Amino acid sequence: MSAPLQRVAVLYDARCNLCRTARAWLERQPQLVPLEFLAAGSAEAARRYPYLDPAMTLEDLTVVGDAGEVWVGAKAWVVCLWALEGKRGLAQRLSAPALMPRARAVVSFVSRHRRRLGTYGEGCDCTPA
Protein backbone atom coordinates (compact mmCIF):
# COMPACT_ATOMS: atom_id res chain seq x y z
CA MET A 1 0.00 0.00 0.00
CA SER A 2 2.87 2.36 -0.62
CA ALA A 3 2.42 3.06 -4.32
CA PRO A 4 1.23 6.63 -4.79
CA LEU A 5 -2.45 7.13 -5.39
CA GLN A 6 -2.57 8.84 -8.75
CA ARG A 7 -6.21 9.14 -9.55
CA VAL A 8 -9.47 8.60 -7.85
CA ALA A 9 -12.92 7.66 -9.09
CA VAL A 10 -15.77 9.10 -7.05
CA LEU A 11 -19.08 7.24 -7.14
CA TYR A 12 -21.82 9.54 -5.96
CA ASP A 13 -25.60 9.46 -5.92
CA ALA A 14 -26.50 11.47 -9.02
CA ARG A 15 -30.21 11.47 -8.07
CA CYS A 16 -29.53 13.56 -5.03
CA ASN A 17 -29.39 17.31 -5.32
CA LEU A 18 -27.04 17.69 -2.36
CA CYS A 19 -24.66 15.12 -3.82
CA ARG A 20 -24.63 16.91 -7.17
CA THR A 21 -23.86 20.16 -5.38
CA ALA A 22 -21.02 18.46 -3.53
CA ARG A 23 -19.75 17.02 -6.80
CA ALA A 24 -19.83 20.46 -8.45
CA TRP A 25 -17.94 21.94 -5.50
CA LEU A 26 -15.28 19.21 -5.64
CA GLU A 27 -14.98 19.72 -9.38
CA ARG A 28 -14.37 23.44 -8.98
CA GLN A 29 -11.50 22.99 -6.51
CA PRO A 30 -7.94 22.75 -7.79
CA GLN A 31 -7.04 19.05 -7.63
CA LEU A 32 -3.67 17.59 -6.76
CA VAL A 33 -4.94 14.11 -7.53
CA PRO A 34 -7.48 14.06 -10.36
CA LEU A 35 -11.01 13.15 -9.30
CA GLU A 36 -13.25 11.43 -11.77
CA PHE A 37 -16.96 11.40 -11.07
CA LEU A 38 -19.23 8.51 -11.87
CA ALA A 39 -22.91 8.22 -11.08
CA ALA A 40 -23.37 5.39 -8.60
CA GLY A 41 -25.43 2.59 -10.06
CA SER A 42 -24.80 3.73 -13.64
CA ALA A 43 -23.91 1.32 -16.44
CA GLU A 44 -20.44 2.88 -16.65
CA ALA A 45 -19.82 2.32 -12.94
CA ALA A 46 -21.00 -1.29 -13.23
CA ARG A 47 -18.75 -1.88 -16.23
CA ARG A 48 -15.68 -0.46 -14.54
CA TYR A 49 -16.24 -1.70 -11.04
CA PRO A 50 -18.25 -4.92 -11.36
CA TYR A 51 -17.19 -5.97 -7.86
CA LEU A 52 -18.92 -3.01 -6.20
CA ASP A 53 -22.50 -3.50 -5.07
CA PRO A 54 -24.51 -0.75 -6.84
CA ALA A 55 -26.96 -0.56 -3.92
CA MET A 56 -24.11 0.12 -1.52
CA THR A 57 -22.54 2.78 -3.71
CA LEU A 58 -25.93 4.48 -3.94
CA GLU A 59 -26.15 4.45 -0.16
CA ASP A 60 -22.75 5.93 0.76
CA LEU A 61 -20.21 7.97 -1.14
CA THR A 62 -17.64 5.52 -2.53
CA VAL A 63 -14.17 6.33 -3.76
CA VAL A 64 -12.07 3.89 -5.76
CA GLY A 65 -8.31 4.26 -6.15
CA ASP A 66 -6.29 3.22 -9.17
CA ALA A 67 -5.10 0.02 -7.44
CA GLY A 68 -8.58 -1.09 -6.41
CA GLU A 69 -8.69 0.52 -2.98
CA VAL A 70 -12.23 1.31 -1.89
CA TRP A 71 -13.12 3.98 0.65
CA VAL A 72 -16.67 4.43 1.86
CA GLY A 73 -18.53 7.24 3.64
CA ALA A 74 -16.46 9.57 5.82
CA LYS A 75 -13.22 7.94 4.69
CA ALA A 76 -14.23 8.60 1.10
CA TRP A 77 -14.70 12.24 2.01
CA VAL A 78 -11.26 12.37 3.59
CA VAL A 79 -9.78 10.95 0.38
CA CYS A 80 -11.65 13.55 -1.71
CA LEU A 81 -10.36 16.38 0.49
CA TRP A 82 -6.87 14.94 0.41
CA ALA A 83 -7.01 15.02 -3.39
CA LEU A 84 -7.66 18.77 -3.36
CA GLU A 85 -5.06 21.46 -3.24
CA GLY A 86 -4.99 23.22 0.12
CA LYS A 87 -7.34 20.72 1.81
CA ARG A 88 -4.76 18.18 2.91
CA GLY A 89 -4.42 19.72 6.35
CA LEU A 90 -8.17 19.35 6.80
CA ALA A 91 -8.05 15.75 5.59
CA GLN A 92 -5.22 15.04 8.00
CA ARG A 93 -7.10 16.59 10.93
CA LEU A 94 -10.34 14.80 10.13
CA SER A 95 -8.56 11.47 9.90
CA ALA A 96 -7.06 11.84 13.39
CA PRO A 97 -8.49 9.35 15.89
CA ALA A 98 -10.12 12.17 17.85
CA LEU A 99 -12.15 13.51 14.92
CA MET A 100 -12.77 10.52 12.66
CA PRO A 101 -15.71 9.08 14.69
CA ARG A 102 -17.35 12.51 14.69
CA ALA A 103 -16.77 12.93 10.96
CA ARG A 104 -18.24 9.49 10.43
CA ALA A 105 -21.32 10.39 12.48
CA VAL A 106 -21.89 13.64 10.56
CA VAL A 107 -21.37 12.07 7.13
CA SER A 108 -23.65 9.15 7.91
CA PHE A 109 -26.31 11.47 9.35
CA VAL A 110 -26.31 13.69 6.25
CA SER A 111 -26.20 10.65 4.02
CA ARG A 112 -29.20 9.02 5.72
CA HIS A 113 -31.25 12.19 5.55
CA ARG A 114 -30.17 13.45 2.16
CA ARG A 115 -33.42 12.46 0.49
CA ARG A 116 -35.17 15.04 2.61
CA LEU A 117 -32.64 17.76 1.88
CA GLY A 118 -33.55 19.54 -1.33
CA THR A 119 -35.06 17.76 -4.29
CA TYR A 120 -34.35 14.12 -4.86
CA GLY A 121 -34.47 12.18 -8.10
CA GLU A 122 -34.86 15.22 -10.33
CA GLY A 123 -32.36 16.06 -13.02
CA CYS A 124 -30.85 12.62 -12.69
CA ASP A 125 -27.99 12.01 -15.07
CA CYS A 126 -27.77 8.31 -14.38
CA THR A 127 -29.37 5.09 -15.53
CA PRO A 128 -29.83 2.93 -12.45
CA ALA A 129 -28.64 -0.62 -12.96
Partner 1 sequence: MDPLVPTYAAYLALTVPITLWVGSTLRRNGRVFLLDVFDGDEDLAAAVNHLLVVGFYLVNLGYVSIALKVGADVTSARQAIEALSLKVGAVVLVLGVLHLANLYVLNKLRRRAQLASWSATRPPVAPDAVWGGSARPA
Q: Which residues bind partner 1 (CB under 8 A)?
A: 1-5, 9, 47-51, 64-72, 75, 78-79, 82-83, 88-89, 91-92, 95, 100
Residue 17 beta carbon to partner 1: minimum distance, rounded to whole angstroms = 26
Closest to 49 (Cα-Cα) out of 26, 72, 21 = 72
Please enumerate in sequence order all residues whose Cβ is within 8 A of that of 60, keeping only pairs 6 or more positions apart, or say none: 72, 73, 76, 108, 111
Pick 15 or 52: Cβ nearer partner 1: 52
Residue 112 beta carbon to partner 1: minimum distance, rounded to whole angstroms = 18
Pick 91 or 129: Cβ nearer partner 1: 91
Pick 95 or 108: Cβ nearer partner 1: 95
Residue 98: phi and psi, rounded to 5, are: -75, -30
Residue 51 beta carbon to partner 1: minimum distance, rounded to whole angstroms = 5
The helix or strand, by DSSP H or E, that contains position 94, with its residue range, turns out to be helix 88-94
Pick 9 or 19: Cβ nearer partner 1: 9
Residue 56 beta carbon to partner 1: minimum distance, rounded to whole angstroms = 11
Distance CA 49, CA 89 (A): 30
Distance CA 120, CA 44 (A): 21
